[in-house]
Amino acid sequence: MEIQEALQWTDNLIFATTGKHLDSLQRAILEGVWEGKGYQDISDEYHCSNDHVRKSASDLWQLLSDLLGEEVKKKNVRSLIENKIFSSFNGVQIGNIGNNVNLCNDLYNQSKIPRSRSPSPPSNKSEPRHDLSQAPEYNRLYNRTEPLATLKQWILEENSRIITLSGLSGIGKTALARQLVEQIKDNFDRILWRSHRKLPNLETLQSHIIEFLAPTPPSQNPSIINYLNSRNSLLDHLRNHRCLIILDDFQETLTPGELVGNYRPEYQNYGQLIHEIGQLPHNSCLLLLTWEQPLEIATLETETCACKTLPVLGLGKLATEILSARQLKDEKKWPELIQLYSGNPLWLNIIASTILDLFNGSVQEYLSYPTLFLGDLEPILKQHYQRLSESEKIIIQWLATQDQPVKISQKPPELLSDADFLKAIQSLKRRSLLEKSSGLTLQPVIKQYVKNLSEKCF
Ligand SMILES: Nc1ncnc2c1ncn2[C@@H]1O[C@H](COP(=O)(O)OP(=O)(O)O)[C@@H](O)[C@H]1O
Ligand SMILES: [Mg+2]
């Protein structure tokens, strides 16, 4: 196999995930290793130090290991890449990146892709239109290979119609969706990203979507006004084009202060619309990013396999990458810090700033401080707490006083009636505020926030 082919394939693979191309040194390393050269020869030819080449090579092998799901080293890189290219050419499932034939075929040769999401009907063919103006820029993500593979499987292979990414703020829903869009955008005629923070009501949302999906821009098509508010026309558009619609901060449509699931008055008929999008046949996909799972989604998931929810979880031990990027000290103590902040990338970044500011970067000193410090996390946690109903607050305050996970059957009789208790537990789960474990328990940060609140009250 020619090195140019391997370079192109590797470059595509890396670009699809990180948005960055191979740099000239990485190309020189790959080329050199392909030809059996040592690092010393490569550094001589590239006119840089041996250490620099070794470091760059080690980063490149690590990145490729992450993407391919196998350990890549100088010794095996050539045979691994040759095998992957050969496999992807023959439609064999490969790699962690996507664990998915389509992506790798995609990377190798767009024209060869057998897509299971069928293309738009020919009469509706028009230039792809993508509006990501409300989406954030995308950065390199740690430990998201598996969820990305799952999402691609659901969307590209299984034609899911609604997918919900749920999780507390800062866990990485938006970042994950952004990365996903970058990897699958070529499979859609229309991509629209909207945030509910910027949409005042359901009508505005529908008109945004219909305007965007209409075959010609509304300025050239006055008749669009006639069907702006019609749900049927929205569904027609979802049938006529392969659309990916991402709606971020979906929790903004739900009423705070009540159990999860009731829409604000201005979003009253949203549930019905979601139900139709989930139930009726079409070839598009709605991606909802939310702190709280809407009720219709929970019901739809039991009715059709075309609707799925992916809870976005903490980064686990790979969150060390964040701490390392922030140049914190006491690496041995990092796992403890990650566990306390549940591997939440936003929380870890915020607390890393505090540790740098107040403890000169020493995680050990920070952890020896007697109470878990929340600092700039408080306003974020407050937003979650303020959305709770009274019964949920009662449960969460009770759980904050428990040292061990408790069983549902351990509920003190005076706390709430059995029915109210179970409703509130279910609602807290839909808000990702209860940990999935053998019993009921709170994340350490949430527990501390609630404890602080109770102390303020007395
Ligand atoms: N897997 C990840 N690796 C590194 N940083 C991440 C990861 N996921 C999210 N982040 C960062 O954490 C912050 C919060 O992520 P974001 O996607 O906005 O969370 P959410 O949408 O769940 O509130 C952002 O700065 C984002 O870049
Ligand atoms: Mg977000």
pLDDT of residue 8: 85
User: Which ligand number lies closest to the CA of residue 196?
Assistant: 2
CATH code of the domain covering residue 391 = 1.10.10
**Residue 335 class from Cβ within 10 Å (0-12 exposed, 13-18 middle, 19+ buried)?**
middle
pLDDT of residue 47: 77
Residue-wise pLDDT for 314-366, tens only, equals 999 999 999 999 999 999 999 999 999 999 999 999 999 999 999 999 999 99
**In this structure, which residue's CA is closest to atom 11 in ligand 1?**
345
Residue 120 lies in a domain: no
**In this structure, which residue's CA is closest to atom 16 in ligand 1?**
172
Q: Over range 66-84, report the average pLDDT.
A: 86
Give 16 Cα–ligand 1 centroid separation in angstroms: 18
Residue 275 lies in a domain: yes
Contact 176, 148 (CB under 8 A): yes
Out of 18, 168, 171, 313, mutate this one to test ligand 1's pocket (max ligand atoms within 8 Å of CB): namely 171
Q: How many domains does the chain have?
A: 4
Helices 231-240 and 270-279 meet at what angle, rounded to 10? 30
Q: Cα(84)–Cα(153) distance, rounded to whole angstroms?
A: 19
Same structural domain, 142 and 274: yes
Atom of ligand 1 nearest to the CA of 168: 22
Residue 118 lies in a domain: no
Same structural domain, 219 and 235: yes
What φ, ψ does residue 312 adopt, rounded to 5°? -85, 125
CATH code of the domain covering residue 144 = 3.40.50.300
Q: Over range 84-88, report the average pLDDT.
A: 71
Give 271 Cα–ligand 1 centroid separation in angstroms: 28
**In this structure, which residue's CA is closest to atom 9 in ligand 1?**
172
Out of 174, 195, 431, mutate this one to test ligand 1's pocket (max ligand atoms within 8 Å of CB): namely 174
Residue 307 lies in a domain: yes
Whose tokens are 């810090």? That residue is 337
In this predicted structure, the answer to whether residue 5 has a pLDDT above a threshold of 90 is no
Whose tokens are 């009423």? That residue is 255
Give 365 Cα–ligand 1 centroid separation in angstroms: 26
Q: Cα(21)–Cα(2) distance, rounded to whole angstroms?
A: 19
Summary mean pLDDT of the chain: 85
Same structural domain, 348 and 252: no
Same structural domain, 451 and 356: no
Out of 246, 346, 348, 351, mutate this one to test ligand 1's pocket (max ligand atoms within 8 Å of CB): namely 346
Q: What is the DSSP string of 126-177?
A: ---EEE-TTSPP----SS-HHHHHHHHIIIIIS--SEEEEE--TTSSHHHHH
Atom of ligand 1 nearest to the CA of 312: 22
* Sign, Cα dihedral of 300, 301, 304, 307: positive
Model confidence pTM above 0.75: no
Same structural domain, 345 and 396: no
Q: Cα(377)–Cα(346) distance, rounded to whole angstroms?
A: 9
Task: Give, as one character, the DSSP assignment of residue 33.
Answer: H
Q: Cα(369)–Cα(130) distance, rounded to whole angstroms?
A: 49
Give the strands of the sheet with 162-166, arranged side by side.
129-131, 190-195, 243-248, 285-290, 162-166, 307-311
User: Which ligand number lies closest to the CA of residue 139?
Assistant: 1
pLDDT of residue 24: 83
Same structural domain, 219 and 330: no
Q: Cα(257)–Cα(255) distance, rounded to whole angstroms?
A: 7
Domain boundary among 326, 346, 370: 370
Which candidate, 341, 317, 337, 318, places its Cα nearest to that of 329? 337
Which candidate, 153, 138, 110, places its Cα nearest to that of 8? 110
What 3-state class would DSSP assign to 325?
helix
User: Which ligand number lies closest to the CA of residue 171?
Assistant: 1
Same structural domain, 324 and 434: no
Give 130 Cα–ligand 2 centroid separation in angstroms: 20
Question: Residues with beta carbon inside 6 Å of ligand 1?
Answer: 139, 141-144, 167, 169-175, 315, 322, 345-346
Residue 8 lies in a domain: yes
User: Which ligand number lies closest to the CA of residue 176?
Assistant: 1
Residue 119 lies in a domain: no
Q: What percent of the chain has a predicted confidence (pLDDT) above 70? A: 86
pLDDT of residue 440: 93
**In this structure, which residue's CA is closest to atom 24 in ligand 1?**
346
Residue-wise pLDDT for 240-272, tens only, equals 889 999 999 999 999 999 999 899 999 989 999
Residue 10 lies in a domain: yes
242: which 2 tokens? 């392969």
Residue 117 lies in a domain: no
Local confidence band at 218 (pLDDT 50, 70, 90 cut-offs): very low
Same structural domain, 282 and 146: yes
User: Which ligand number lies closest to the CA of residue 325?
Assistant: 1
Atom of ligand 1 nearest to the CA of 345: 12
Same structural domain, 73 and 144: no
Q: Over range 194-222, report the average pLDDT.
A: 78
Question: Which residues neighbour 398 within 8 Å (Cβ) at sequence distance 6 or greater?
Answer: 412, 415
Same structural domain, 241 and 200: yes
Same structural domain, 179 and 288: yes
Same structural domain, 391 and 306: no
Domain containing 62 equals 3-112
